Structure 1
Amino acid sequence: MLPKENEYVYIQSYKHDGSIHRTWSKAFVIESNKDRIVAITDRAYVVEADGRKWLTREPAICFFYPNHWYNVISMIRKHGVFYYCNLASPSIYDGEAIKNIDYDLDIKVSNTYEQTLLDEDEYEEHGAKMHYSKELDTVIWKELRDLQQRIDRKESPFDHREIERLYNKYLIMKEEWRNRRVSV
């Protein structure tokens, strides 16, 4: 099942033990196919596992993959596009939300493609606490290397021109969506 383009969906991220990690109140789907779901969050409410709520500050283009153990958030800021990559289970859409399991490791990527690996200690801690299997650990590190290579090669979604094209597509789709709602 895939979400429909031109519709809002929820995003839900869990932990390995099934507990909720983080939710986003809305994401506007601009692309949905067997290879990826692309959705925009723009002033969306986010709720953390501890109940803390916050509003996203800038538009972000989110890439969810059904065949990769990561997702990518490209944040559009004044000084360029920055990326935040989450090592996570392949994403699914169940008719309610785009869902995945967060596996702690993250890569922060600057607008000049400088990479910073984050939360290795959290990954080790949660791996022991939640009993990540050896097979899972192997997959996570393999997908991390794949992700780093994509960043190095500036492959999709790490191509600033692609982000600009998708953001412009979103602006057009959002305006058309608003016009449809007003005329109904």
Structure 2
Amino acid sequence: MTFPATGSNIQVQSYKHNGKLHRVWEETLVLQGTSQEIIGGNDRIIVRESDGRKWRTREPAICYFHAQKWFNVIAMIRADGVYYYCNLGTPFVWDEEALKYIDYDLDIKVFPDRTYKILDEDEYRLHQEQMNYPREVDLNVQQGLQELQSWICQGKGPFNPDFPEQWYERFLSYR
């Protein structure tokens, strides 16, 4: 299997458990692509929603995807600090068309002071019932949530204070 080349632009697609396309990020620059991790950067890109709406991101972001983790992380670089938006979902798949994952609704927003808030628990429970998530999926999502919270508290991976700065500088070197 090949992986996206460093310096290439890729599309990121999220799906729902029922297989329906949820959201598409039009252009992310691959800063590092391996069989285990893809780190990308983007700035003010167009995002398409499944209902046809489009919007543009407001700030530069560094995206972290892992081939074995049930979450992905977006570090948003703002004037008042780095905010993180974390999606609970399947590990990524790269099929040469796009980086893809299934989004399971639960999210965590992390603030510059490292405090965080779990979001969309009601939406997760509703979709869990509507789409009949298998027990294994629920266990993986809950384990991903716990691991993500641990990474946040420990400053591990993309939550290491040097991570967004280092990768953002690399992103700028491509522009």
TM-score between both structures, scaled by the size of structure 1: 0.93
After TM superposition, the structure 1 = structure 2 runs for residues 30-41 of structure 1, keeping only pairs within 5 Å, are 30-41=31-42
For the residues of structure 1 that align with 2:153 and 2:167, how far apart are their CA atoms? 21
The alpha carbon displacement at 1:19 in A equals 0.5
The alpha carbon displacement at 1:34 in A equals 2.3
Larger radius of gyration: 1
Residue 98 of structure 1 corresponds to: 99
Which digits, 9 at most, give the CA deviation of each residue in 1:18-72, with x for residues without a partner?
Answer: 1111001100000111221001121210011111100111000000111111100
Residue 120 of structure 2 corresponds to: 119
After TM superposition, the structure 1 = structure 2 runs for residues 1-184 of structure 1, keeping only pairs within 5 Å, are 1-172=2-173, 174-175=174-175
The alpha carbon displacement at 1:160 in A equals 2.1
Paired residue type of 1:94? D
For the residues of structure 2 that align with 1:119 and 1:164, how far apart are their CA atoms? 29
Which digits, 9 at most, give the CA deviation of each residue in 1:162-182, with x for residues without a partner?
Answer: 21011111111x14xxxxxxx
The alpha carbon displacement at 1:138 in A equals 0.9
For the residues of structure 1 that align with 2:49 and 2:161, how far apart are their CA atoms? 29
Secondary structure of residue in 1 paired with 2:146? helix
Q: Over the residues paired in the alignment, what is the CA RMSD in angstroms?
A: 0.8
The alpha carbon displacement at 1:156 in A equals 1.1
TM-score between both structures, scaled by the size of structure 2: 0.97
Structure 2 gaps of 5+ residues are none
For the residues of structure 1 that align with 2:42 and 2:170, how far apart are their CA atoms? 14
For the residues of structure 2 that align with 1:170 and 1:73, how far apart are their CA atoms? 14
For the residues of structure 2 that align with 1:160 and 1:27, how far apart are their CA atoms? 22
For the residues of structure 2 that align with 1:128 and 1:56, how far apart are their CA atoms? 31
